[in-house]
Amino acid sequence: MPFEGLQLPILIGVYCVFVGLYLWAITLSASQVWKAILALCVLSIVTTAYTPGASTFFSYVGFLIGFSYGTKIWLNLLAFLALVIIALHYTFNYPIPFFALPALSGLITISIIGYVERVRLEARISQQKSHEEIEQLAVIAERERIARDLHDILGHTLSSIALKAELAEKLLTQDKPDHAKQHVSELHQIARNTLSLVRQTVSGYKHRGLSGEVMELCDKLRQNGFVVELMGEIPQLTPRAETALILALTELTTNVLRHSNGNHCQIEFRHQCDKILVSMRDNGKVSSLIPGNGLQGIQERLNALAGDLQSSIHKGCEFVISLPRRELHQ
């Protein structure tokens, strides 16, 4: 043997160098790891000349190539290293159980493990990127929904405010203060209604879901002396439709509390063909129904969703909200 008395210390040094190269390899990027792999291969081949125990080195090299490269390059390197091991076996004529068998089995099995770990890592990274993209799209969709709601709420209202202010200004210049005062009064009422609507909308963004809001409205009615009957299954809607429906039911509940002289209220959810229907009826006596800004606001928000609001005063007051079935949350 070439080492004789120094064989053990030299082999310990070789193993230390191998460990150092391996630790260096795991810190390198995919484009630079070839340097450490090449150094490990050279060290493994040189060490094989002195001991068959170098067969274990090839297992670690196999893991690195499996973990670092794609399928085609990995298989080519795996085949090349297998040929190197066979060549070393015939060159140094080691017994098969002491070199070729452990070297080949370790190279192939550990390399497969490295390749599988690489595939798993790529899958986790891909899944994480998908989640991030979904979250980003959800944020964008929510911003667009808020922008649409604010446009629906404020667009028409601000136009009305501008028109009323312009008319009042013209009437003042024409020395008609009484008519101007009427427009200013209407302007004040529009502003107050808009403020209330914006508050309801903001509350809708922070709501606890349609079910929670419906239960809260029912409790509010009961606290004011109404017997409340809730029928049907509350659907899962898209965020925009859910907000619109919450605002609509809140406005209708406010109307019932303010104007109804009845003591019974029924809220019903049902499906009809391609529509979602939500009806709210009470047993108060109503001779006529004049839609105000609140009901007009409900109608405008529902129209933006291809929905509708119908009313009836036969045997009490009834409002029926319809939404297209596509607004169901998938």
pLDDT the model gives residue 4: 53
Q: Kindly list the domain boundaries of the chain, sorted by start residue.
A: 4-131, 147-203, 209-327
**What is the CATH code for 147-203?**
1.20.5
For the segment 100-149, what is each residue's pLDDT rounded down to a tens digit? Answer: 888 899 899 999 999 999 899 888 888 888 777 777 777 777 677 667 66
Whether the domain at 147-203 and the domain at 209-327 fall into the same CATH topology: no
pLDDT at 2 over 60: no
pLDDT the model gives residue 203: 60
pLDDT the model gives residue 1: 42
For the segment 267-325, what is each residue's pLDDT rounded down to a tens digit? Answer: 999 998 889 999 999 998 877 777 777 788 888 888 888 899 998 887 789 999 999 99
pLDDT the model gives residue 3: 47
Task: Please determine, looking at this structure, whether the domain spanning 209-327 carries the CATH number 3.30.565.10.
Answer: yes
Helix/strand/coil (H, E, C) string of the chain? CCCHHHHHHHHHHHHHHHHHHHHHHCCCCCCCHHHHHHHHHHHHHHHHCCCHHHHHHHHHHHHHHHHHCCHHHHHHHHHHHHHHHHHHHHHHCCCHHHCHHHHHHHHHHHHHHHHHHHHHHHHHHHHHHHHHHHHHHHHHHHHHHHHHHHHHHHHHHHHHHHHHHHHHHHHHHCCCHHHHHHHHHHHHHHHHHHHHHHHHHHHHHCCCCHHHHHHHHHHHHHHCCCEEEEECCCCCECHHHHHHHHHHHHHHHHHHHHHCCCCEEEEEEEEECCEEEEEEEECCCCCCCCCCHHHHHHHHHHHHCCCEEEEECCCCEEEEEEEEHHHECC
pTM above 0.75, yes or no: no
Q: What percent of the chain has pLDDT over 90?
A: 19
